Amino acid sequence: MDRLACVDVPSLGLQLLILRHRSWSGHPAALLDRDAPQGEILQVNRRARRAGILPGLRLAAALSACPDLRAGSIPDEEVARGVDRIARLLERFTPEVEPSDREAGVFWLGAGGLDRLHRSPGAWARDILGRLRSRGLSAAAAVGFTRFGTYALARAGRGVAVLRSADDEALACRGVPLDLLVRSASTRDALAGIGVATVGQLLALPAAGLLERFGREAHRLHRAASGAAWDPLRPRPPEESIAGRIDLDWPDGDAARLTFLTKRLLSSVIARAAARGEAVAELWIELVLERAERRVERIRPAAPTLDEAQILDLARLRLESISLEGGVIELGLRAVTVEAAAEQIGLFDRSPRRDPAAAGRALARLRAEFGAEAVVRARLAEGHLPEARFCWEPLDGAPRPAHRSGGTGAAADHHPSLVRRIRERPIPLQGRPFHGPGGLHLEGLGAESVIRMDGPYLVSGGWWRREVEREYHFAETASGRILWVYRDRRRRRWFLQGAVE
């Protein structure tokens, strides 16, 4: 029986979110289905779980239990890119890699025929986990013989599990808790209600009637664990090479113009390599001459790189040094790539440099024209009400910009954060809300109607000076604006506190 391995990167979406916000490391963190106070928690790390935060809670409730919680959402497209990057990394260890279509972060690998390349299956799996750790990802792996067995043992472990035989694998799987494998809480609770908490106890149930009594997930899990469901490895197809091609309008042998065309193709080639977490180790320049003759020139940088200027300079030198027997009618580039270091990806994603001295000079001109009090910055302050939670202080110089963190293995996309703009003095809204055409109307907001209200979020206190009772709401208008409004219970009036942009 051929060996099979499973690599489990648990809570992949949350791990990618923490990589984007590196300051969250060491804090309780959670992944949300949407970035909103009523967003549902999908995944949590160990610190959050120890604090009593579990998937299924709403963010507002979780924050009341753990004020130090860091939470956010991540687009499905970014998780898909993370799965793709990990799959490409695993393909460096075996040509047969199958990402799970049910659970992002689970991968099955063909582990047969690798004896002459690695000391042992365990060393091979440890090398994989080490490479993932270098990308900032924690994972577990199991090397065995069946799809279900390797998945169950990888999900239950924290390192590498290597099974000597199919019987050893089946025996080890029997003790795996079902709550690590069953995704549906209702299925898990139904099985726990009759004392079924492990794979072995599930296999002890009769297969007949399992679907009708406990549902599809329990039935599918029983078939997989018992070996009744034959599910062969389905590795993903080989990836296309990174290449580009351009047809010339007329034969051209000028080195300067060929260099310019090379630059047009090179930008796309480097971007695709960076998106795959790879660097260019060698570049092939293919020239098709007007007599159908093909010529390939190879350039190799001193080290694999994503520096476009460095590669383009080598291409220019090469094109200027060769003599062509005719004009070029087609030019193509093909990149030979290797895995890029995390520092190379970060340099590729870094924003263009700006002169901090120029920013300081601009602020000095503003102070000279409008007065010193015109250049200030907000600072958090102790206060009970939102408008008292910040104050303004003079800004002497331009603050040093912080480099935004991104995911590993690719040029990270910039996802702007929502900003809540708070007014120093809330604006009173005239009259009471009334329902009209298109939704709820708050007089003072113009003709816009409110199509959805989230809340209320209560703020009360102030007994030491003047008692305050407010009901805060997030109001989404028909035009897409999100306003932050509240109702003053004691004054029985509505106010506009700010907006979310």
- Per residue in 129-159, pLDDT (tens digit) is 999 998 889 999 999 999 999 999 999 988 8
Q: Provide the pairing of β-strand 482-488 with 493-500.
A: antiparallel
Query: In the prediction, which pLDDT does 405 show?
Result: 43
DSSP string across 401-439: PPPPP--TTS-PPP-PPP-EEEEEEEEEEPS--EEETTE
Tokens read off for 333:
């580039």
Query: In the prediction, which pLDDT does 350 show?
Result: 46
pLDDT at 264 over 50: yes
CATH code at position 122:
3.40.1170.60
Same domain? 211 vs 99: no
Mean pLDDT of all residues in the chain? 82
pLDDT at 459 over 70: yes
Alpha carbon distance 248, 477 (integer Å): 53
Query: In the prediction, which pLDDT does 345 show?
Result: 55
Same domain? 488 vs 443: yes
Rounded mean pLDDT, 158-176 = 91
Query: In the prediction, which pLDDT does 211 show?
Result: 82
Query: In the prediction, which pLDDT does 14 show?
Result: 94
Rounded mean pLDDT, 294-303 = 87
Host domain of residue 138: 4-169
Total structural domains within the chain: 5
Query: In the prediction, which pLDDT does 179 show?
Result: 83
Asked if the structure places residue 232 within a domain, the reply is: no
Q: Calculate ∠ Cα 405-407-413, nearest 5°.
A: 80
In degrees and rounded to multiples of 5, residue 285 shows phi and psi of -105, 115
Query: In the prediction, which pLDDT does 408 show?
Result: 36
End position of a domain, from candidates 347, 382, 410: 347
Same domain? 141 vs 222: no
**Alpha helices (H) in 174-215, listed in sequence order:** 185-193, 199-203, 210-214
Asked if the structure places residue 215 within a domain, the reply is: yes
Asked if the structure places residue 94 within a domain, the reply is: yes
Least confident among 336-340, 378-382, 428-432: 428-432
Least confident among 13-27, 118-132, 391-405, 485-499: 391-405
Same domain? 378 vs 280: no
Amino acid at 109: L
DSSP string across 449-477: -EEEEEEEEEEEE-TTTS-EEEEEEEEEE
Each residue's pLDDT tens digit, 404-443: 444 433 333 445 567 778 877 888 876 566 565 555 666 6
Same domain? 182 vs 161: no
Asked if the structure places residue 399 within a domain, the reply is: no
Same domain? 114 vs 158: yes
Residues 191, 218: contact at Cβ < 8 Å?
yes
Q: Calculate ∠ Cα 42-46-49, nearest 5°.
A: 65
Query: In the prediction, which pLDDT does 439 show?
Result: 54
Residue identified by tokens 């169950």 is 152
Higher pLDDT residue, 95 or 118? 95
Asked if the structure places residue 256 within a domain, the reply is: yes
Instruction: Locate the DSSP E strands across 111-259.
Output: 140-144, 160-162, 242-252
Query: In the prediction, which pLDDT does 207 show?
Result: 81
Tokens read off for 247:
């047809």
Same domain? 69 vs 180: no
Tell me what percent of the chain is helix, strand and coil, each rounded to the nearest 5. Answer: 35, 30, 40
Query: In the prediction, which pLDDT does 54 show?
Result: 84
Q: Provide the pairing of β-strand 390-394 with 482-488.
A: unpaired
Residue 165 per-residue DSSP state: S
Alpha carbon distance 198, 176 (integer Å): 6
End position of a domain, from candidates 137, 169, 201: 169
Q: pLDDT over 90 for what percent of the chain?
A: 23
Same domain? 143 vs 17: yes
Instruction: Give residue 124's pLDDT band: very low, low, confident or very high (50, 70, 90).
Output: very high
Rounded mean pLDDT, 395-406 = 59
Alpha carbon distance 430, 250 (integer Å): 71
First to last CA, the chain: 58
Torsion of CA 408, 412, 414, 418, to 10 degrees: -30
pLDDT at 46 over 80: yes
Give me the sign of the Cα torsion angle 101, 138, 123, 176.
Answer: negative
Same domain? 144 vs 35: yes
Each residue's pLDDT tens digit, 472-497: 888 888 777 888 888 888 888 888 88
Rounded mean pLDDT, 40-57 = 89
Query: In the prediction, which pLDDT does 292 show?
Result: 66
Each residue's pLDDT tens digit, 78-92: 899 899 889 988 988
Asked if the structure places residue 143 within a domain, the reply is: yes
Asked if the structure places residue 387 within a domain, the reply is: yes
End position of a domain, from candidates 143, 169, 195: 169
pLDDT at 272 over 80: yes
Query: In the prediction, which pLDDT does 149 show?
Result: 92
Instruction: Give residue 5's pLDDT band: very low, low, confident or very high (50, 70, 90).
Output: very high
Instruction: Name the residue among 37, 474, 467, 476 with its Cα closest to residue 488.
Output: 467
Same domain? 111 vs 217: no
| Three-class secondary structure of residue 10 per DSSP | coil
Helix (H) or strand (E) holding 365: helix 356-370
Least confident among 175-179, 265-269, 353-357: 353-357
Same domain? 133 vs 246: no
Asked if the structure places residue 459 within a domain, the reply is: yes
Residues 341, 348: contact at Cβ < 8 Å?
no
CATH code at position 196:
1.10.150
Query: In the prediction, which pLDDT does 17 show?
Result: 92
pLDDT at 447 over 80: no
Partners of 484 in the beta sheet? 474, 498
Query: In the prediction, which pLDDT does 390 show?
Result: 75
Query: In the prediction, which pLDDT does 403 show?
Result: 47
DSSP string across 312-354: HHHHHHHHHH---SS-EEEEEEEEEEEEPPHHHHHHHHPPPP-
Q: pLDDT over 70 for what percent of the chain?
A: 86
CATH code at position 250:
3.30.1490.100
Same domain? 69 vs 99: yes
Partners of 429 in the beta sheet? 494
Q: CA–CA distance from 324 to each of 186, 216, 331, 397, 465 (Å)?
A: 72, 67, 13, 57, 88
Instruction: Locate the DSSP E strands across 215-327.
Output: 242-252, 278-289, 294-299
pLDDT at 395 over 80: no
